Amino acid sequence: MKTKRILWVLAAFAFTSLIYAQRGQAPAPMPTPSQQTSPMNQPQSQEQQNQAQPAKAAQRPSKGPVPLTEKEVTKEIKSSPAETVIKDVRERGVDFDMTPEIEKKLHKANATEEVVEAVRRAGPKVRAQTARMTLGQGQTASIDVAKEQYQAFDAIKSELDPDKTISLVADFEAKYPQSPLLSYVYTYGANGYQQKGEVEKVIELTDKGLKVKPDNLMCLILSLGMLPQPQYLNNHPTERDKILQKAQTEAAEALKLIAALPKQPNEADADYQKRLTQIAAAVHASLGMVHLDIANEALGGPDKDELAKSEQEFTTAVAVDHPDPRDYYRMGEAYAMDGKVDDAIGAFTKASEYGQGTMIKAYADQRAEELKKKKAQGSAAPKS
C-alpha cells in the first residue's frame, strides 16, 4: 500500500490566526448565569462563531468553486443581504487578500463588520496559514499515513461548508478508525458543529479527539469554549460541578501546551511572547466564565473570591491587540455582580466599542444604560 509521510511544521502564527479568526469569534456567546434569558444565550450566527476554531484551508480551483473576485464581492455586497454574502464568501473563498484600501471599498459598499471579517478570513494567505495544524509541544512531527487517508484528510481541511465537513469526518472515522490523523479529523468536525451552534456535538467530538491525543491544543481550546456555557451546563444540571472542574483541568493543560510552543524562525522575543498571549486569551476567557459560573452558585449571594478570579481572567483575556467584545461583556457582568458599578459600565462600554456591527453592541449598550440609571438613582450597590 502506498503511504505518504506528512511533515507537520508547527505554525503558531497560523494558530493565533485560527484562534482570533474565530474569537473575533470562539464559541457561541457565554452569558453569565444571571443573563440566561437573554438572546445572547442562544447559539451565535455562523459568522460570530468563527473565532478559536480550526480555520479551513484555501480551496483549490480544481477541487471546488472558483473563488470570488474583489469586483464580484463588492457587487454582491451592494445587492444581497449580509448573510448571503457571508455564506458565499465562506463557501467559495476570495482570490485576494484584505488590505486597508479594499476594506475601505467594502465599507463604502455598505459591508457590515461581519462581512468584512468573513472576506478577510477567506483570503488566500489567511486560509493557507490557518490550514496548518498544531500537533502539540514539538516543533515538527512526522506522520506516515496511507495515501488514501491523506487525500481524505486533505479534503476535510479544504472543505468550507460545515455540513459537508461533518459528513466527511464521519466517513473518515468509519473508514480509518485507527488512523494517526483521527484526533485532528475530530477537531475539524468539532469546528463544523461549532459553526452550526451544536454545543453537545462539539463536546462529543473534542472528547473523542482528546481521548486519542490528549495534547491536541486545538481540541482543548474548542472544548474549553463550550464547557462553561449555560447552553451546555443547563443540559447537564447534575454534572455541573464535574463539568466546571473538567474545564479547569483542560485549561491548565492548554496553558501548559501554549507555554511550550516554540519560537518561529527569526521571531523576536517580544513577538513570540505577544503571540503566546494572544493564543492564551481564549483559555483565560473560558476560565473567566468558569469562575463566574462558580460564583453564581453560592447560596448566600455571589462568591466574592470567585468573582475576583473571574475579573482577573477576563482582564488577562482582553489584554491583546484585538480583544473579543464578549470577553468585555462578561467582565462587565462579573463587575456588576461584584457591586463594582463604574468598572462594569467601563467594561460594557468597551464591549460596545469592540462589538460594532454585532449583536454584542446592543446588549452591552443596554446593560451600561441600566447601570448608569441605577447609579443616578442611588440604587446601585456600593463599589467594593
Q: Tell me, what's the pLDDT at 63? A: 47
Homologous superfamily of the 3-58+123-376 domain (CATH) = Tetratricopeptide repeat domain (1.25.40.10)
Assess contact for 227 and 247: CB atoms under 8 A. yes
Whole-angstrom Cα Rg for the chain:
21
The pLDDT of residue 328 is above 60: yes
Length of the chain: 384
Residue 29 banded pLDDT, cuts 50, 70, 90:
very low
Per-domain residue ranges of the chain:
3-58+123-376
Q: Is 274 exposed, middle or buried (0-12, 13-18, 19+ CB in 10 A)?
A: middle
Assess whether pLDDT exceeds 80 at residue 382: no
Mean pLDDT of the chain: 80
Check if the beta carbon of residue 379 is closer than 8 Å to that of residue 367.
no
**Residue 56 confidence (pLDDT) above 90:** no
Prediction pTM value: 0.68
* pLDDT (mean) for 67-94: 91
With a cut of 80, say whether residue 346 has pLDDT above it: yes
pLDDT score recorded for residue 211: 96
How would residue 137 be classed by pLDDT, with cut points 50, 70 and 90? very low
Q: Which of 146-150, 232-236, 338-342 has the lowest mean pLDDT?
A: 146-150
Buried b (16+ CB within 10 A) or exposed e, 76-101: bbeeeebeebbbbbbbbbbbbebeee
Q: What single-letter amino acid sits at 20? A: Y
**113-129 pLDDT, tens per residue?**
888 888 988 888 766 54
Q: How confident is the model at residue 33 (pLDDT cuts 50, 70, 90)?
A: very low
Mean pLDDT of 323-338: 95
Confidence band (pLDDT; 50, 70, 90) for 53? very low
Cα dist. 172→177, 189, 190, 237 in Å?
Answer: 8, 11, 14, 33
* Residue 174 pLDDT exceeds 80: yes
Query: Which pLDDT does position 144 carry in this prediction?
Result: 64
Question: Do 351 and 328 meet the contact criterion of CB atoms below 8 Å apart?
Answer: yes
* pLDDT at 47 > cutoff 90: no
| Residue 266 binned pLDDT confidence (cut-offs 50, 70, 90) | confident
What is each CA distance from 43 to 16, 20, 230, 282, 326, in whole angstroms?
23, 18, 11, 18, 13
User: Is residue 284 predicted with pLDDT exceeding 90?
Assistant: yes
**Cα–Cα distance between 45 and 117 in angstroms, integer?**
14
Model confidence at 340, pLDDT cuts 50, 70, 90, reads: very high
Q: Provide the percentage of residues in the chain whose pLDDT is more than 70.
A: 77
How many CB atoms are closer than 10 A to CB 169?
Answer: 25
Q: What is the reported pLDDT for 168?
A: 96
Percent of the chain with pLDDT over 90: 56
